[in-house]
């Protein structure tokens, strides 16, 4: 299916004038489409387009700034184009406040109503009644078959200790689920959240992912507000999952990161 044909079905009356590739398409093809009527939209291809549209709707309903979903077709998501702007300190503070609003929206259980995926890496979201079980069974354990034997044994052993290391029943916050800096899109009104992988869980999981590849700006934390005591010891437990996903997606170059995080988990 051509993107022009998919666009015509997802956004009736739209006529494609120009297509420009956008960065960030490691797991899906993302383009800016300039239309004949002068509008610009974002086209994102992938098998879970409609699931992502539902996640964006959930985020918007919780008060987050997200691109509006303009239409979907099989394998194609059409989104509002948001003009980028610099990431200023006030914008970071606004982003922190927005994420706090998101995390204050709670679900009835840990998980999500449907599974998701990062490219070929499946994300199981079937609810479980307690949080350590969810993190072990739905997040860490699925990576075990894809890891070197020694590392897999260490992760498996960690899973058995999670009830001692994580809160049993924290608030089931609405999470973005893939909150690294590349999924924060700064605009003139403030930061917008893009490319979600939503589920309900401990809010610290989002914050840990945001800190995995860089320091969280102080302005963001001012907007977000205080963190729960003990967050420092829990952060590597939450960072381990995206590190294991990176091993599966991008190869052995991320085994060192996973090993370092395991050491911190055991400290």
The reported pLDDT for the residue numbered 1 is: 47
* Bridge partner residues of 84 (DSSP): 187
Tokens found for residue 29: 């093809």
* CATH domain 89-266 topology: Aminoglycoside 3'-phosphotransferase; Chain: A, domain 2 (3.90.1200)
Which of 73, 115, 130, 178 is labelled catalytic? Answer: 178
* Bridge partner residues of 42 (DSSP): 32, 79
Q: Is 196 exposed, middle or buried (0-12, 13-18, 19+ CB in 10 A)?
A: buried
The reported pLDDT for the residue numbered 10 is: 82
Going from N- to C-terminal start, the domains of the chain cover 3-80, 89-266
Dihedral of CA 106/228/143/50: which sign?
A: positive
Q: Return the closest-CA partner of residue 53 out of 114, 9, 135.
A: 114
* CATH domain 3-80 topology: Phosphorylase Kinase; domain 1 (3.30.200)
**pLDDT tens series, the chain, 267 aa:** 477 778 878 888 888 889 998 876 566 789 999 999 999 999 999 899 999 999 999 999 999 999 999 999 888 999 999 999 999 999 999 999 999 999 999 999 999 999 999 999 999 999 999 999 999 999 999 999 999 999 999 999 999 999 999 999 999 999 999 999 999 999 999 999 999 999 999 999 999 999 999 899 999 999 999 999 999 999 999 999 999 999 999 999 999 999 999 999 986
Cβ pair 258, 244 in contact under 8 A: yes
User: Among this protein's residues, is 178 annotated catalytic?
Assistant: yes
The half-sphere exposure of 262 on its side-chain side, counting CA atoms within 13 A, is 19
């Amino acid at each position: 299916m051509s993107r022009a044909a998919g666009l015509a079905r997802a956004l009736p009356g739209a006529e494609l004038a120009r297509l420009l590739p956008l960065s960030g398409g490691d797991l899906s093809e993302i383009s800016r489409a300039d239309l004949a009527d002068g509008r610009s939209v974002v086209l994102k291809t992938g098998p879970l387009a409609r699931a992502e549209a539902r996640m964006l709707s959930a985020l918007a309903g919780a008060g987050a700034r997200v691109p509006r979903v303009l239409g979907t077709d099989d394998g194609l998501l059409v989104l509002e184009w948001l003009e980028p702007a610099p990431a200023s300190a006030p914008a970071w503070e606004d982003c922190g406040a927005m994420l706090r609003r998101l995390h204050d929206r709670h679900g009835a259980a840990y998980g999500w109503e449907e599974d998701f995926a990062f490219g070929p890496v499946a994300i199981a979201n079937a609810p479980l009644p307690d949080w350590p079980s969810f993190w072990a069974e739905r997040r860490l354990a699925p990576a075990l078959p894809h890891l070197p034997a020694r590392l897999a044994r260490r992760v498996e052993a960690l899973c058995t200790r999670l009830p001692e290391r994580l809160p049993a029943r924290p608030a089931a916050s609405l999470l973005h689920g893939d909150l690294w800096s590349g999924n924060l899109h700064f605009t003139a009104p403030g930061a917008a959240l893009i490319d979600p992988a939503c589920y309900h869980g401990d809010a610290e999981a989002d914050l840990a992912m945001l800190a995995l590849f860089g320091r969280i700006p102080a302005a963001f934390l001012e907007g977000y507000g205080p963190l729960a005591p003990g967050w420092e010891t829990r952060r590597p437990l939450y960072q381990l999952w995206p590190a294991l996903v990176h091993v599966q997606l991008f190869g052995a170059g991320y085994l060192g990161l996973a090993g370092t995080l395991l050491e911190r988990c055991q400290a």
